[in-house]
Amino acid sequence: MVQVYYHNNINYDANGDMNLSPTSCTGKIQLNGDCTIEVEHSFDKEGRWKSLINDNVISCPTPWSDKQLFRIYNREKKGTSIIAYARHIFFDLKNYPLFSILIQNKNGQEALTYLLKDTPFSITSDIPTLNNLEDENKNVLTMLTGDNSFLKIWGGELYLNNYNIIINRKLGGDYGVRAEFGYNLDDIEEDVNDDDVVTRIIPIGANGIKLNGSSPWVDSPNINKYANIIHRFITFDDIKVKDSINDTEGYDTLELAQAEMINRCNKLFEGGIDTPSVNYKVSMALLRNTTEYKGYEVLEDVGLGDIVTCRHYGIDIDIKARCISLEWEVDLDSDVARTLTIELGNAVANYFDNQSDITNRVSNILNGNGSVKADAIEGTINALQTKFKALKSIAQTQHVRAMLFEDLDSNSPTFGAMCIGTMGFEIASERTSDGKDWNWRTFGTGKGFFADQIVAGILTAVLIQSVDGKSFWNLKTGEMFLNKGLISGNGSSWNLDTGEFKTHGNNGKIDLDILISQGQITSNTWMDILTKDGLSIGKSDSTSFIIFLQDVIALNATNINFGGDASLVNAIVSGNIAVNGNLSVNGNKNCLQKTENFGQVPFYANEDVNSLLTYTSIENIYTTELQSDGTYTCKIDIQNVIQECINTKLEYNVWITKLGRGDVWVESTEPSFFIIQSDKEVSFKYKLEGKRKNFEDMTLERHLKSLESEVTV
């Protein structure tokens, strides 16, 4: 039944506001493309045609559903009729804006849930790949199907079911449909292109590696089915031989590298590089009236994305082609959608990438690491599905060799299926999106078990490795090697490509981030280093090194506070250090006083609550002498270097050590000298003590005032 819902009626579970009596209702859908209908209606006296206005919604049968919703976006008058053009309700998503989009390390379901969270649509996905997406000021439809979109980054194929959308890795399936083409039939358009066919690959690895002998190539199993041998040079830049035993990438020997090149070539042939690119457009409506229809009636039940095994007359090769578009009409007597035209093509790439040269065709089949594209285990599962289809067929007719158990009632607690036989078993817990078959995803054979997910209490194994063998975990030796990627959690991440390690936290007030990368540890704020027994920092060759601390801010001070014992060996620390515990020095402890003419002058330890420097006369002995005025006097000039270290313009102390009997005292002090007098001739030594130049205000009083600003790091 073809009905119309007025734009303000969203109760699509009930009948529509108007039943139509159209003269025709046709539709077209493309794989990951447009989905539209055209409804032609006469100007009837009941005025039904008046409901065909923009923004109203039409419901009608389709090849995959009894009722799908389409919103009218245009209409035109034609003679005594009106034609309404409508798009699937899915395209309403263009009306939902997204101002800021940031998706990080999410699988398909998680990413889609984020994108559609503020819409009336529900969406599911079986895409396990983790990816990132960032954009702004886009609508939801663009973020699903545009240039920088979900389909471009995660991949997948759309299944439209009103407000319930599915984007799975693959739409449709291989249900054993076969058809033969190549006959001169007007009702079938054919495009068979051999330009990209390769039947002999001459592989070349990194640094010019080739296969040995006079036949350095790999031949296709179909090489004799063509008039000429079609050869191509194909380069595998990632296949190389290690230059040294310390290299982490490459193969240990030339023989191993050559074996991998042969393996890659065979994968290309398995991927179809030795078969033509085909495109068939079959007019089912016209064929129904011909005697040839019997050979093509199997195509009536083919759905979007389904695989058809095509054999071209004159070429003894089976070619797998997918249904990439459908056109249908609604039988107005039976209210059933019937296929008008079905289009079969090699790949979705015909519609998105339009790549035809051999280099691009290779890249379409192989990943960068040389494995066949699709999810890591998808290729294995697809191969097993093909084998088990034969088993399932046997199970239906020869029960001794195989059995099929299934419960088709989706409300039953035992809903599911299991096929078991001499080859192994396969298990499914759900139907395919089109409901034509079970979605077989778990398999067991004599060679092992294959599944999307394995749940176990205890998993006993020796080696866990990726499909290409480049990443592994040897549970026997404990060795783990991950070729590349990202290990992340809620509070940390480890980028295996760049070597960056990040942590993230929050103390309730501010974010605290640490980055370890390229020989550096970086913090966005202060950083605490807490250890139980101590901290040791040094160089392996025992030479001196520098701890460089720049802009270490603790409240309003520039201090580093050691809360316990600190050991600095051959180190230079730039900044202020406060040691709250013990400071032990095996060598000398001194301060370096910067002078204008004498460089940095070292002054050794002299503990005081003020910042003082001293000069002590150890080797020199001075003597007072009788002067003309009758006094015993000695004038001592202060060396220039001392004047540049001690501020002698301020008060300073002179301490005297007598070397004989008599009374001796300091008569006066001046910036450049001081006077010593005695009651008779006396020999003595002295020590000069004064405030350190440029540190005159470093006093006990100032320290007491700043105590509250100290922070222990």
Backbone angles phi, psi at 707, to 5 degrees: -55, -40
For 564, the 3-state DSSP assignment is coil
Query: Please, which pLDDT band fits residue 611 given cuts at 50, 70 and 90?
Result: confident
Is residue 377's pLDDT more than 60? no
Cβ atoms 20, 5 nearer than 8 A: no
Query: Please, which pLDDT band fits residue 359 given cuts at 50, 70 and 90?
Result: very low
Which tens digits make up the pLDDT trace of 441-463? 888 887 777 776 676 667 777 67
> For residues 421 and 666, what is the distance between their CA atoms, to the nearest angstrom?
114
H or E stretch including 391? helix 378-397
Query: Please, which pLDDT band fits residue 358 given cuts at 50, 70 and 90?
Result: very low
Instruction: Say what the pLDDT of residue 662 is.
Output: 93
Which tens digits make up the pLDDT trace of 557-568? 344 555 445 555
What is the pTM (predicted TM-score) of this model? 0.53
Q: Which residue has the tokens 């940031």?
A: 102
Q: Which residues of 127-163 are buried (b: 16+ CB within 10 A; e: fewer)?
A: bbebbebebeebebbbbbbeeebbbeebbbbbbbbbb
Q: Which residue has the tokens 């449909």?
A: 177
Instruction: Say what the pLDDT of residue 35 is.
Output: 95
**Average pLDDT of the residues in 423-428:** 86
Residues contacting residue 130 through CB under 8 Å, at least 6 positions apart: 105, 106, 107, 486
Which tens digits make up the pLDDT trace of 649-685? 999 999 999 999 999 999 999 999 999 999 999 999 9
Query: Please, which pLDDT band fits residue 536 given cuts at 50, 70 and 90?
Result: low
> For residues 159 and 142, what is the distance between their CA atoms, to the nearest angstrom?
17
Q: Which of 455, 449, 310 minimizes the C-alpha distance to 384?
A: 449
Cβ atoms 33, 352 nearer than 8 A: no
Give the CA-trace dihedral at 470, 473, 478, 483, to 10 degrees: 40
- Measure CA 575 to chain center: 40
β-bridge mates for residue 233, sequence order: 202
Query: Please, which pLDDT band fits residue 550 given cuts at 50, 70 and 90?
Result: very low
Instruction: Say what the pLDDT of residue 423 is.
Output: 79
Instruction: Say what the pLDDT of residue 628 is.
Output: 93
β-bridge mates for residue 359, sequence order: none
Instruction: Say what the pLDDT of residue 314 is.
Output: 63
